[in-house]
Structure 1
């Protein structure tokens, strides 16, 4: 297994993001309700976080609930929010014990107040942890993120806090939801779909993309390691020769 590094060919990634797709198809193939697929997906999250810690990744970002997911049936949204509550309640001790820092990306403060309070507590309790940053994308959409950044920059410009002519990529990146994370090295999507689905569009500009047919509930340490091996075998030129 390659050592995470995210730089030269042969080095592994420092920051991995995953579009966790396929819970519904996993359940359908087993003639189970969709919520059963989401529950199995929560187990895959546990496995993957543990594997990321063991591999020495610096950051793992998981696409848990998009801003477009509000279009799903109300019963499914309720099931997903219930799973989120249970996951935070049941996993916080292990996350803290394993020196994992929790970060939430997206417009997550628009979630229900009790969920926001749970997440605030989890973020505070893990703030000093350093082994791995686990970023969970909730009510996240990359276009929404860019709109939020744009509005903030406009407010700062009107207040005379920034000079519009001095704007550069670093100024934008400092205001992204992922500002505290290492650059995104590797983006994985499960279930055979080959698209980004409005996820980390700015951050993925030079990341390596790996698409796997594995449905998310079946994703495990071996699948994560295999994707990192693919990453390590690629040459990253960033537009150069």
Structure 2
């Protein structure tokens, strides 16, 4: 019950921002698709670039929680609750996981709507994009939360943007490493069962980093003096 209450409090602190960011993400995606069309934007297809922008905007409220908590004084008030600091930190991580899943659902829904109204094909998004973007956001949270706990929430937006693109790069390296290993083992990644297996490994790597990040954040939070 304590964890449920903390997560719900996080939601109520930023639910207005969630609505604004969600609408903004959909509108931004539509504008970018119209503007870019079937051309390339900085060498990247719109079908690959736009979903990432939509996903990024959709999850920003998860990091907004820490900023709102700091401005309102909730971050100090919550310490008076009969809960451990580790539980408070865990609620932030759980909330990010919920927001990430919700952001992916919003983006896929928006992309499906766009596909009905334009030339866009959803084939490339149905599985591969969901897996890659989920892992990228998990990596983003894994780096951003410790930075916010360490340096404060005032620069959270900068941390999110920097770690998002850094996580995008790291996820690409992990993907290339897995492809390289598959080529050495003469494994066909186009085989659906093999692709599923490697995708699961890809997600598990992200989740492992996320769990390690949680313990790192708890350590930082326990040493802080409010």
Structure with greater proportional helix content: 2
Which is bigger in relative contact order (C-alpha 8 A, separation at least 6)? 1
TM-score (norm 1): 0.30
TM-score between both structures, scaled by the size of structure 2: 0.31
Q: Which structure shows the higher strand fraction?
A: 1
